[in-house]
Structure 1
């Protein structure tokens, strides 16, 4: 039995790494299961793609569709055309998609039209914000997928409301946390640590890339200026997403404690997060990592598809109004930020549960022992 695993963008790589490791373990135990790793090429530069494969020990993809670039429609179409050819040449028992990027949507549609079962890792999460491309990707993928691996009971309930049955749902936990816990001892400081003279708990980390925050350059400037105004002169480290970089080039920012870096590898970035006083972000995945590492997190969005990071974890949803930053920062510097906890099954064993479920779904047995 062969499974095709899809990865295309930076968030995917952290989610597939433990799944691949778990499937390797099943192979070593004698199970007749194989996989074909397909990189769509959605993120195609070294900082956004290759370094993650190297740092997380992900094997070289069996195929790279090289479908990056262009508008969302062009990229979706390119991935679909190229993945159709890939799946025709290499038939599969099941296509495993992860997360909510363009590749997730495109490959799910192709697989279903070719009558191949689809399993979605990180299914059922919803922000309620249809203006987010990721929300559309999630909703369409879950509308047509066959099996759903979920991170929370909230995600399970979302899927039940959408008509999914108990037999289709598998509450397994969070593969992002598998990767985090496995690699935490390997984190190391990026060059900016020395360049900025950073000390643990004495700096902030900021990431911004969502359209609501970065596409309007005046708003982006006001947002960053407000963060710096309330940072108490602490260094603020800003790894800049390519989407944000083009807007920053046209904004005049002059803050001696603001340090821009290119996108960082997984191990370097999470070293910064683990040692930060707080993280200010509009990313969903980072809120999961800060929750597990116990780092205060402020999310500059009006909604989140990961509410457990707020109800259980260290995350607080501030919205996109820069005025919300001042009271949040005062709470942080007063030492009154909530402690937070870790959601159920975010324990580092999610991929093992996924592998067990796949074996059962595909009725895969161990191979007979060879007779000498």
Structure 2
């Protein structure tokens, strides 16, 4: 979702420029990867590293070993990395040691929770990146507080929203909610995949129980991440009838389910942003978020994990729905600003 609009914007701004797409293989499940390439119109990767599985250290090390020959072979002017996954930091470390300039898209986001692998990945990548392309002013301030020079920081907006805006016609034509017998505004969309929520059987059981109680008010549709399904099946959790488990969906169908939902319950980072743009109330089941602007300006609320906390937040949401406000520069043109920055065109530093 983050790369597709950047590829389009660079091609439009510099038709003669060369781009090389590298897929590390970190997101290896066909339903979680291939379908997004199709829906987003991404070209076939020029290089596929095939790295999946293993511990965080193993995965990061294997990506570095596989990526170094790719970088040496192609000698790019820029390495563009996005987000905060292991691939982000692994490829950045290789580039930094080889002297290849790094541009980090979604720079500056901070949860201030170093128990999250993503937080480590974000901080390390930002420390070695040459251009820090941020989605919002709070991310700029995080970088300034860490001593990053202002001339390396560019507030370009949220590239996730670019994909959403670009895909809105297809999203609006999708009829997945009708296929599932769901009435717009009368169901809850749920996603859970973070280890802290799904790897702990006690916590997962509590959250499933809470979803069951919420489903007595509104039906719950739950596209199940492969990791989460494995945990549910291994522990034999009883899933209430009104909580409908479905397979992971493609981008258009998932976003359609989100757009028509009465509320979303998630532990995802990107979903917090997408619900904010769409104006859909969101309960994020995490102790912290690296996207606080979705709370201060968006439709997101943070919920400490646990059955009682989630049920209390659900009850409060029924009484006081959030105000709908979208942050500045979440306008579908972030990738154009990113392209201008990479091509040396005029983009104001933050």
TM-score by length of 1: 0.89
RMSD: 1.6
Match of 2:6 among 11, 14, 19: 19
**Distance 1:344-1:192 versus aligned 2 partners, 3 A rule:** closer
| CA-CA distance at 1:232 after TM superposition | 3.1
Matching residue of 1:294: 279
SS of the aligned residue for 1:35 comes to coil
Distance, in Å, in 2 between the alignment partners of 1:40 and 1:178 is 23
SS of the aligned residue for 1:232 comes to coil
1:325 counterpart = 2:349: no
For the Cα contact (< 8 Å) 2:209–2:307, is it kept in 1? Answer: no
Matching residue of 1:133: 117
How do 1:1-372 and structure 2 match up within 5 A?
A: 14-28=1-15, 32-187=16-171, 188-189=173-174, 193-195=178-180, 197-249=181-233, 250-334=235-319, 336-360=320-344
SS of the aligned residue for 1:135 comes to helix
| CA-CA distance at 1:193 after TM superposition | 4.3
For the Cα contact (< 8 Å) 1:231–1:329, is it kept in 2? Answer: no
Distance, in Å, in 2 between the alignment partners of 1:131 and 1:104 is 18
**Distance 1:193-1:75 versus aligned 2 partners, 3 A rule:** farther
| CA-CA distance at 1:192 after TM superposition | 6.6
| CA-CA distance at 1:321 after TM superposition | 2.8
| CA-CA distance at 1:153 after TM superposition | 0.8
Distance, in Å, in 2 between the alignment partners of 1:74 and 1:184 is 38
SS of the aligned residue for 1:219 comes to helix
SS of the aligned residue for 1:89 comes to helix
Distance, in Å, in 2 between the alignment partners of 1:356 and 1:218 is 49
Deviations 1:277-309 (CA, angstroms, capped at 9, x unpaired): 100001110000000000000011110000000
Deviates more, 1:109-118 or 1:217-226: 217-226
SS of the aligned residue for 2:33 comes to helix
| CA-CA distance at 1:231 after TM superposition | 3.3
| CA-CA distance at 1:323 after TM superposition | 1.2
Deviates more, 1:304-313 or 1:63-72: 63-72
Any unmatched runs of 5+ in structure 1? 1-13, 363-372
| CA-CA distance at 1:230 after TM superposition | 2.9
SS of the aligned residue for 2:343 comes to helix
Distance, in Å, in 2 between the alignment partners of 1:313 and 1:157 is 19
Deviations 1:309-344 (CA, angstroms, capped at 9, x unpaired): 00000000011132122232223334x211220001
